[in-house]
């Protein structure tokens, strides 16, 4: 394709603001033309470069401007309608994660991509990580021997302000539409997506079953502290243990490969990879490729593969589906929670939660199997 690609951004608040700034930098470098943004709430002063207009919605933008690429960073339940709108208008899409809130939506969007011939890159930044891709290659080559499994652990802090950021925040559904905005499917979506990618099991038909244990300390619909176990067609167990109710903020998420011949720990977003083989440990810092620039390269030369195409997020979407249809998260007993802060900074701390999420990822066991004091029997979903 010739000419400088014309790029628009839908959703300019929250994470969307970082997309606006990134597109502005690419425009300043002459890589793209930043034509417009769409958001019902006008962006804050100074966010948009001069000459970039805001439209109240993506439909109005596409009716008024010719666009080659749309970056979509909007509420989860709007992802598929907006992506379809952009694809049918002839644009390619960079769609924030999670791409869809159900398997049905995933299949719907996949059909639109096939029909239109457009490209849809999903915003799993870990797919651009050289560290993650190196680890996936090592696993595929059998360098760690027989895999005992892959664990992922994440322990972050989120305050009341986070759950109050939008009507859909912390909701399982809104106005009858699936949202599935919990710790597993949104803040730590990268953890499971990375683990499946490293196992070579990123596609939908490579996930055999998903067991979920969903809990919450916050007064929300969705989960904020959960363990999930996935079994893949390769025979790998993937165990993710996650919380937004940690004692200490700032811990970096990890994906841990457990093999008979060695071990690896991937830390993100720093992209630091720790490899232990033959009793020797090496630590290497890697870079990453930008997903929007990769989409632009793919547009210019289709021989350049997308790093995170929609099809490569099907395994993760089976996890989303399992969380969506699972029983509502169980409330963690008040005696196991300590509240800190006031007003918008108020947040719960689940006692010893860092210990339990770490053990789960190391032992590849669910909270209930480890004897975590808040845990209850889990739900398993098998896929045909």
Quickly state the pLDDT bin for 381 (edges 50, 70, 90).
confident
pLDDT of residue 111: 98
Res. 181: pLDDT tops 70: yes
Is the pTM higher than 0.75? The answer reads: yes
Alpha-carbon distance 199 to 201, whole Å?
A: 5
What would the pLDDT profile of 212-232 be if each residue is shown by its tens digit? Answer: 999 999 999 999 999 999 999
Please answer whether residues 10 and 72 qualify as being in contact, where contact means their C-beta atoms are separated by less than 8 angstroms: yes
Query: Residue 48: left if φ>0, alpha if ψ -120 to 50, beta else—which one?
Result: beta
How does the average pLDDT of the chain come out, rounded?
Answer: 96
Q: Is the preceding omega at residue 98 within 30 degrees of 0, hence cis? A: yes
Alpha-carbon distance 29 to 40, whole Å?
A: 28
What would the pLDDT profile of 115-161 be if each residue is shown by its tens digit? Answer: 999 999 999 999 999 999 999 999 999 999 999 999 999 999 999 99
Looking at the chain, which runs of residues are DSSP E strands? Answer: 6-10, 33-38, 53-55, 69-72, 92-95, 120-122, 147-155, 173-174, 177-178, 207-216, 225-232, 237-243, 254-259, 262-267, 272-277, 280-285, 330-331, 337-340, 347-350, 379-382
Query: DSSP 3-state assignment of 68?
Result: coil
pLDDT of residue 2: 64
Quickly state the pLDDT bin for 377 (edges 50, 70, 90).
low
């Amino acid at each position: 394709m010739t000419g400088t690609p014309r790029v628009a951004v839908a959703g300019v608040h929250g994470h969307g603001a970082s997309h606006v700034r990134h597109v502005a930098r690419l425009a300043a470098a002459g890589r793209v033309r930043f034509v417009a943004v769409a958001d019902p709430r006008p962006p804050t002063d100074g966010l948009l470069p001069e000459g970039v207009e805001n439209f109240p919605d993506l439909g109005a933008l596409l009716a008024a401007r010719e666009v080659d690429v749309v970056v979509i960073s909007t509420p989860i339940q709007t992802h598929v309608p907006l992506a379809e709108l952009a694809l049918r208008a002839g644009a390619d899409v960079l769609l924030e994660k999670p791409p869809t809130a159900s398997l049905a939506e995933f299949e719907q969007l996949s059909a639109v991509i096939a029909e239109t011939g457009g490209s849809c890159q999903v915003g799993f930044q870990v797919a651009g990580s050289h560290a993650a891709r190196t680890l996936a290659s090592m696993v595929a080559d059998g360098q760690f021997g027989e895999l005992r499994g892959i664990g992922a652990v994440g322990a972050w802090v989120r305050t009341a302000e986070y759950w109050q950021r939008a009507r859909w925040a912390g909701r399982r559904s809104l106005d009858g539409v699936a949202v599935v905005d919990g710790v597993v499917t949104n803040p730590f979506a990268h953890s499971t997506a990375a683990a499946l990618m490293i196992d070579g099991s990123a596609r939908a038909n490579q996930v055999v079953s998903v067991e979920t244990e969903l809990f919450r300390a916050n007064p929300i619909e969705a989960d904020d502290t959960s363990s999930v176990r996935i079994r893949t067609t390769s025979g790998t167990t993937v165990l993710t243990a996650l919380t937004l109710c940690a004692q200490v903020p700032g811990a970096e998420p990890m994906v841990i490969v457990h093999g008979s011949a060695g071990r690896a720990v991937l830390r993100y977003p720093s992209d630091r990879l720790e490899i232990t083989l033959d009793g020797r440990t090496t630590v290497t810092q890697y870079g990453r490729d930008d997903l929007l620039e990769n989409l632009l390269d793919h547009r210019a030369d289709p021989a350049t593969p997308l790093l995170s195409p929609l099809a490569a997020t099907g395994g993760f979407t089976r996890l989303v589906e399992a969380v969506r249809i699972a029983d509502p998260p169980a409330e963690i007993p008040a005696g196991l929670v300590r509240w800190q802060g006031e007003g918008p900074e108020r947040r719960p701390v689940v006692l010893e939660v860092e210990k339990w999420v770490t053990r789960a990822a190391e032992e590849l066991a669910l909270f209930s199997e480890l004897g975590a004091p808040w845990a209850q029997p889990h739900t398993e979903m098998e896929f045909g």
